[in-house]
Structure formats: C-alpha cells, structure tokens
Structure 1
Amino acid sequence: MRKIESEFSELIQKNQGIIHKICRIYTTNEEDSQDLFQEIVLQLWKSYKSFKGNSKFTTWMYRVALNTAITLFRKSNRKIDTQEIDQNLYKISQDTDYTDKQEQINNLYDAIKKLSEIDRALVLLYLDDLPYKDIAETLGITEVNARVKMKRAKIKLKEIMDKDE
C-alpha cells in the first residue's frame, strides 16, 4: 500500500500544475481554490486504483479533475464540500510561481471564467497543448467535435476579451 501511496503522491506532485489550472478556472477565491484542489486530489486518490493505464496518466487526471470541478461548480452557490485528506497527500505543496506576464494571464483567466463549463475545460486542455485526440478522449467527444467546439470557444473568448478592453 505504501508503494501505491508513494507512486500516487509523486505523480500528483509532478502534475499538480494541471490541478492548479483547473482550480483557478473554476473558483473565484483562494479558499475555494484550495478546497477544490484538495477535493480533486481526494477524487484522484479514490479512483487511482481503477486507473488501468489505457490512456496517459495526465489525460486520466484531467478527466477526473475536470469532472470533479464541473460537478462541484454546478452545486448551489458553488459551495465545495470537502473531506479530510490523508496526511501524506496533504503534504503536496502548491506551486505559486507566477511569471512576469501575470496581468495578461489574469485577464485571460477572467475571460475563460466567463465561458461555459465545457468550453472552459476545452480551452484549458487546448492551452496545455494537448492534441485534439487527447482533448476529445478527456471530454468524451469526437476529435472533429473537439475541433469545432474549440473554434467556437476561440471566437467567444475573443469577443469577451475585446469587450473587456
């Protein structure tokens, strides 16, 4: 069991940026972001034993994390019910290294937050340079549908950003 916990913690530590991005897009304050981060890690841990390796770990991680965020986002008042997390998992540090382009990044995130839940997920995966095949697999849609939805999301995002300027 310790080996599984260690392996899981290492994978989360290595790929925690994915969770942070999702938390940032689906929450509006630091407290909710931290709660969502913990809830995503908990859901990943609960379903880790069922991860068969049929897809890349990051693809599976995106799917679980996005499903958790979207489900919690849809709950009334965007309240996040959290559960206690194992001490070993709690020790995962949060990456708060921001770049010089923080203002531009903040503006982009603000615009992304104005998109629908599915469009947010789509844009996030696209911005992480995932191929459309992986985006489609993560979201459970066809590759063609992912391309069409992304084109529409880009248009919506541009309209939002132009309007906010």
Structure 2
Amino acid sequence: MTTLTTLTLVEGDITEQSVDAIVNAANSSLLGGGGVDGAIHRRGGPAILAECRALRASHYGKGLATGQAVATTAGDLDARWVIHTVGPVHSTTEDRSALLASCYRESLRVADQLGARTVAFPAISTGIFGWPMDDGARIAVETVRAMDTAVTEVRFVVFDDRAYATFAPYLA
C-alpha cells in the first residue's frame, strides 16, 4: 500500500461524483434517511436499498455500529460502490472524536478491500449530527493523511461555501 494519496476538495453534490466509491454518512439502520444518506439512496435508486436490506437481514440485524463501514452497490450513481459509515452524534459531555476518525479509517479499509482507488467523502457527522465543521474537517483530513491505503485520491465533497472555506486550510 501507499501513503501517496491525493486529497482534493470539491464544493458540490456528492451524488454527482465520478469515483470508484462514494462514502455515505448513513444512519445505523442502513435503510436511508435525510441529508447525504437520503440523497444517495434517492439518486442511486432501489438497488442500494435492496442490498442494505440484505445486510440487515444477515450480518447487521441490529444495524451498523457507529464508526464502522460496509459496502453495497452504487446503483445508478457514477461509482461502483457506496461505502456506508455511521458517524457519531456530537456531544459536549463526551469526546467521540475516535468514533468520527474511525468512520474515515474504516471506510478506507473497506475501499482497499474492494480495490477502490478513488473515494469521495462527505463531511461526516457535521450535518444533523451536530459535529462542529472545523473539528470535523480537522479529524477527517488528519485521519485520511495518516492512513496507509492503496486509494490514490480522496475527494472531500462539501455542500456549501462555508464548509469549503472550513476544509480548505486543512488541505493547504
């Protein structure tokens, strides 16, 4: 493996990325939801949900644990796979940073198992789960930079100018 991964930052819609794998900020049920999760399921079509249901019926009866990752088809997305990971809900009383870092590590581990070379990540947990964008960006970039992976490009895909401006200094 190599640590020569190129990190890029894109403002836009993660469902429009042409990559080997798109990472989904999933909920533990794996059955779709709001935000990035809902967008990926809507755009990717029913094949993603069908594989998620099969995962729930077999290995993940209680859902996917926070910080873990699992892959399905990408359905109608311009990708081969969707890697689903469950980010932690931010807490002001408990440090859950290790769980957030685990989302990035485990997603790259799954990408390596699949043979994916290009991966698009959203800003995991920074939406409805309330993680502060600055801290989320720092954890994302530091974790990916520290990984020994065969992935050659990691693309952080953020939705708006504010998120882009927050991520950019960490990638400079």
Higher RCO (Cα < 8 Å, 6 or more apart): 2
Name whichever structure is richer in strand by fraction.
2
Q: Same fold (TM over 0.5)?
A: no
Name whichever structure is richer in helix by fraction.
1
TM-score by length of 2: 0.25
